[in-house]
A = this chain, B = another copy of it.
Amino acid sequence: MTNQIRIAVLGASGYTGADAVRLALGHPQLEIAALGANAKAGSAMPDIWPHFTPYKLPMLQAAADIDFGDIDAVISCLPHGTSADLLAQIKGPRIIDLSADYRLRDAQTYADWYGRAHPVPDDLPDAVYGLTEFARHRLPDAELAACPGCYPTAALLALLPGIGDGIVSPRNISIMAMSGVTGAGRGAKEANLFAEVSEAAHPYGLAGHRHMPEIEQELSNAANTDVTVSFIPHLLPMNRGELETITVELAEGSSTADLRRCIGARYEDEPFVHLLPEGRAPATRMVRGSNHCVLNVFPDRVPGRAIIVAAIDNLVKGSAGQAIQNLNVMFGLSETAGLEQAPLFP
């Protein structure tokens, strides 16, 4: 086990942290050296995650008790706020952060949406927004990768090629998103009880969801103009999976076929992003448990508009999987290491 990259997973008592552990267990070059989870410090992993019973894993520790001098990479699955406060104090390991704390370039935007001044605004410029497919050139030198939110991951994979090529208009983008309930975390809330979620669907965050500024930031960069999007998430009665059905206006002279070709060309060589055959609708069941994203493009009935549909597993490509993918690129490993397992269906 020499030359293994030693990682610490912080927030290992949450769903995202647990999925990072699951993937790291199957990664040939990662060694799980420490697991952080303040409230559960002192517990064995199988006591809070019985599905890890067959696996040898470190005990959960308070982050303060972890010897980061011994760690090569930190995968931080802590909530926003907590994450930056802690990560700012860790020197040595390179960091893959799954919180929102390093995603926004502008500290004021962060303050507006997250209701607190950013604790380390000077660290923002060097953080790399880790949508791997669009950050590959910057990741090898990055000290910190800020993994995109789950919704932005699917939205940006769907929209960036067309926006970047000028085929999609930056105006009137409508993102209808649907997510399984693991996106809401393992906290014991009435709203996430089985009996409340099962046999039910509803929109939420209608007054403004925190993934919106992130989507707008990246689309604005790509479009070289300020982009405002409509983004409406819905909660669905399933564990994993995220579907986005996005309506866009096509640029003058561009067709749905152009957009489909553009997206197909952009991702032709990507290991994890796949344009489906014409006419086949992406479905969350196609990617469950895997790091894949499936995409397709359809004509809208309203002339001049097109529909892009994208599906990911919110816990994998939408968080823990993309974190590993970023780590792989940062450390010069094969980008697909530890992420090759096929989706679990049914």
Contacts and interface: CB of A to CB of B under 8 A. Distances in A.
A174 B202 CA distance: 17
How many residues of A sit at the interface, in one of the four size bands? 35 or more
Interface string A235-278: 01111110101010000000000000000000000011010110
A342 B26 contact: yes
B245 A15 contact: no
Contacts of A22: 341-345
Interface stretch (A50-58, A66-74, A138-146): A50-58
A325 to B, nearest CB: 14
Contacts of A181: 193-195
B285 A200 contact: yes
A122 interface: no
B287 A51 contact: yes
A199 B346 contact: yes
B200 A298 contact: no
A283 interface: yes
Contacts of A38: none
B285 A196 contact: yes
A345 B49 contact: yes
A196 to B, nearest CB: 7
Interface of A: 15, 18, 21-22, 25-26, 46, 49-55, 172, 174, 176, 178, 180-182, 186, 188-190, 192-204, 206-208, 212, 228-232, 234, 236-241, 243, 245, 247, 271-272, 274, 276-277, 279-290, 292, 294, 298, 300-303, 305, 307, 309, 311, 340-346
A255 to B, nearest CB: 16
13 contacts: A54-B271, A188-B190, A199-B241, A199-B284, A201-B243, A201-B283, A202-B283, A207-B298, A228-B301, A230-B300, A230-B307, A236-B236, A289-B344
Copies per complex of this chain: 4
Given A22-B344, A186-B193, A192-B194, A199 B287 contact: no
Nearest to A279: B207
Contacts of A281: 202-204, 206
Nearest to A183: B195
A194 B239 contact: yes
A121 to B, nearest CB: 25
Nearest to A315: B346
A228 B294 contact: no
A343 B54 CA distance: 10
A342 B55 contact: yes
Interface-centre pick from A50, A178, A277 (highest chain B CB count, 10 A):
A50
Contacts of A212: 301
Given A301-B230, A342-B26, A294 B237 contact: no
B174 A247 contact: yes
A205 to B, nearest CB: 9
A230 B302 contact: yes
B193 A188 contact: yes
Nearest to A300: B230
Nearest to A50: B286
A327 B311 CA distance: 35
A231 B201 contact: no
A285 B229 contact: no
Contact of A53 (B18, B193, B286, B344): B286
Contact of A341 (B26, B305, B346): B26
